[in-house]
Amino acid sequence: MNFNSRNHLKDFNGLKAVASVNYDSRSSFLGKESTAALQQCFIRRAQNHTAPNAFQVQASFKVAILGAAGGIGQPLALLVKMSPLVSDLHLYDIANVKGVAADLSHCNTPSRVRDFTGNDELANCLKDVDVVVIPAGVPRKPGMTRDDLFNINASIVKTLVEAVADNCPDAFIHIISNPVNSTIPIAAEVLKQKGVYNPKKLFGVTTLDVVRANTFVAQKKNLKLIDVDVPVIGGHAGITILPLLSKTKPSVTFTDEEVHDLTVRIQNAGTEVVEAKAGAGSATLSMAYAAARFVESSLRALDGDSDVYECSFVQSELTDLPFFASRIKLGKQGVEAVISSDLQGLTEYEEKALESLKPELRGSIEKGVAFANKQTVTA
């Protein structure tokens, strides 16, 4: 996407403007499919609206980021600020968010940026928001598992989701905070307790696993990166991350050794970054990129695009587990369909890996559910 101000702000004036925008997929931060889909989105909007200029036509969604001053929050806020679909960007953190918002607000892209600090300002941050993204919480250090973050992050996610339930219960909720395998069940229980749980609108963000799988497979097989798409199912920790290499698009064959090496690399990619950062946190830039892609897909779905697919950890009946990551179809109401065909015709390796991940994933889900309900009893 070309974000230069001439194209982006002035020339979005109906179909003529659409043609003038540079949709060169190689320059898109979102990838070829998203870029083409965004183009369709502008065409659809231009056809349906009589607004005098495209500034009004295009940007209409409110996005809130909770944990916006953090390692993921800041670059994610920048990428969301670049989205032509966003009218309002609300940045919330317990500290240091004023400067981030002031800085970001100078970018000449359409969205208005507002900052909100501390619990007293959380409700205002969330009012009328369409998409809430939650990267609040502590990251791993070398030697830790994602589950080691549970004791701190479970409470953070619980408190924030309570506020979401009270202030914008209809929003899409994207949870990044780890351990995702437990924070999603916690969020679901909190929303149930508040009487506003809509399973179609609660998403564990696993996009980074897909982004990594696509990158590593393209490198290994010398494929054009923009064309590669690997579904990643299961959960978001260690062996619960299961890339379905047999379903790679474009169709490609792997030796058994390649399958094993790629699967292990994708499963351990988070740890690879944690170790390289040597105590300074976990993946932030690639995560922000992945989260921005998931936000943009959600906004396109909310905008009426009927061809939006992503992988996400959601309530699911695909397996005997209550939550499971798989490809989903996104629509205006959230999850429109969980794509079951990816689980058909798995290789023996994938079948075995799927069975092996289930006990760990089930344990993490149950841990989250127990936490949310225990808190209620003792509260």
Ligand X SMILES: O=C([O-])CC(=O)C(=O)O
List interacting residues with ligand X (CB under 6 A): 139-140, 146, 178, 208, 270-271, 273-274, 282-283
The answer to whether residues 241 and 267 touch, using CB atoms and an 8 Å cutoff, is yes
**Distance (Å, whole) CA 7 – CA 4:** 6
The residue number with the shortest CB distance to ligand X is 270
Cis before residue 75, ω within 30 degrees of 0?
Answer: no
Question: Of 237, 246, 297, which is closest to residue 267 (Cα–Cα)?
Answer: 237
Task: Pick one of 31, 71, 75, 185: the residue that binds ligand NAI (CB under 6 A).
Answer: 71
**What does 274 interact with, of ligand NAI, ligand X, none (CB < 5 to 8 A by kind)?**
ligand X
Q: How far is the CB of 122 from ligand X (least distance, A)?
A: 24
Does 205 help bind ligand NAI (rule: CB under 6 A)?
yes
Task: Pick one of 91, 180, 188, 343: the residue that binds ligand NAI (CB under 6 A).
Answer: 180
Q: How far is the CB of 263 from ligand X (least distance, A)?
A: 15
Is the Cβ of residue 199 or residue 281 nearer to ligand NAI in the bound state?
A: 281
- Helical pair 348-378 and 150-167, crossing angle rounded to 10 deg: 70
Question: Of 266, 124, 138, which is closest to residue 209 (Cα–Cα)?
Answer: 266
Binding track, positions 214-253, relative to ligand NAI; x by CB under 6 A? ----------------------x-----------------
Site size for ligand NAI (CB under 6 A): 33
Q: Is 236 marked active-site?
A: yes
Q: How far is the CB of 128 from ligand X (least distance, A)?
A: 30
Q: Tokens 């209809």 belong to which residue?
A: 170
The answer to whether residues 331 and 297 touch, using CB atoms and an 8 Å cutoff, is no
CB burial class (10 A; 0-12, 13-18, 19+) of residue 256?
exposed
**What does 273 interact with, of ligand X, ligand NAI, none (CB < 5 to 8 A by kind)?**
ligand X
Burial 122-137 (b: 16+ CB within 10 A, else e): beebbeebbbbbbbbb
Cβ neighbours, 10 Å, residue 51: 15
Task: Pick one of 9, 51, 78, 138: the residue that binds ligand NAI (CB under 6 A).
Answer: 138
Site residues, ligand NAI (CB under 6 A) = 66-67, 69-73, 93-95, 135-140, 149, 153, 156, 159-160, 176-178, 180, 205, 208, 236, 281-284, 287
